[in-house]
Amino acid sequence: MISVTIEKIGLVAQGINNWQEATALLQSETDYQGGELPLLKPSMLKPNERRRTTRTIKIALQAAEEALQDLDNNESLASVFSSSEGDLDIIDQICLALTEVGRPVSPTQFHNSVHNAPAGYWSIGAGSRQGSSSLGGLDGSFATGLLEAAVQSVVEQIPVLLVCYDQPPPELLQPFMPIDEPFSIAMLLNAESDASMARLNLSTLPHGTESRLSKPALETLRLSAPSARSLPILEAIAQNRSASITLPYLPGLNLQAELQPC
């Protein structure tokens, strides 16, 4: 069993600007109403770097920035970035360019096409020279990132930033990739903490059924993006209650999260 604390959270989704708004929603009796995606404008990058970034990079950085807003030790954080599909706009544009005469692939798009592009921009913006891992895990992307970040924190005894993010695919790829809504969740994990929101005990569990949300629109949001599979954990944290949550992880294997509020 892996035991870590959650110290900070950042969140961006349609109609949800930040973790504070998410908390209010998850505590209330009313269901999710949707809405506009907040303006994505992470301030950690210099304007020349920000110009080169995409909506995928920005949604990852915006949640990260919120989770770390009160901290002054960003340079000491290791990081784990997890995304089911990475930056599909760039994949789309590069694959289109490859069908054209002269194959006019954009150099900036190519270097942004690496799966660790958001992590690279984050390390530049935060000034962190610590290790950084970028993962993909299809529908299990959140559980994959959470387990990796927790293991890093426990074994290396360091605080780890986890960011899990998705953007819906561009038109050509939509029929093939089940991401309907943009979503980005960031968590600061630490093995031990004096100021945490909750403690998570993680273990893998064969089979079982993934935890669902009782409100229909919120449950639809949970299923709209792999990163939104984090919502049952977020709901329990917002409601300050203990919970036993089953997250989709791998074929035939779930990640079990026992959550206790601190």
Partner 1 sequence: MTPLSITHFTLTNALGCGNAASLEALRTGRSGLQPCDLENVDLSTWIGRVAGLEDMPLAGKLSAYDCRNNRLAQLALQQDEFLPAVKQAVERYGSDRIGVFMGTSTSGIATTETAYRTRDKGALPAEFTPRYTHNIASSSHFVRDCLGLNGTAIAISTACSSSAKVFAAAYRYITAGVCDAAIVGGVDSLCLTTLYGFNALDLVSTEPCRPWDAQRNGINIGEGAGFAILEKPQDGDSYPSLIGYGESSDAHHMSTPHPEGAGARHAMQQALERAALEIGDIDYINLHGTATRSNDASEDSAVCGLFGDQTPCSSTKGFTGHTLGAAGITEAIFALLCLQDGLLPQNLQTEQQDDSLGANILLDQGRRELRHVLSNSFGFGGNNCSLIFGAAA
Q: Which residues bind partner 1 (CB under 8 A)?
A: 1-2, 52, 75, 84-86, 91, 94-99, 103-107, 110-117, 119-121, 123-124, 126-138, 140-141, 144, 147-148, 151-152, 154-156, 172-173, 175-177, 204, 206, 250-253
Q: Name beta bridge partners: 203.
A: 256
Q: For residues 97 and 243, which CB has a smaller minimum distance to partner 1 in the complex?
A: 97
Q: 87: number of CA atoms within 13 Å, CB side?
A: 26
Closest CB 70 distance from partner 1, rounded Å: 21
CA distance 184 to 141: 12
CA distance 74 to 114: 23
Are the C-beta atoms of 2 and 154 separated by less than 8 Å?
yes
Closest CB 259 distance from partner 1, rounded Å: 19
Q: Residue 243: how many CB atoms within 10 A of its CB?
A: 17
Q: Residue 26: how many CB atoms within 10 A of its CB?
A: 21
H/E stretch holding 110:
helix 107-112
Q: For residues 35 and 127, which CB has a smaller minimum distance to partner 1 in the complex?
A: 127
Closest CB 192 distance from partner 1, rounded Å: 15
Q: For residues 38 and 170, which CB has a smaller minimum distance to partner 1 in the complex?
A: 170
Closest CB 245 distance from partner 1, rounded Å: 18
Q: For residues 156 and 192, which CB has a smaller minimum distance to partner 1 in the complex?
A: 156
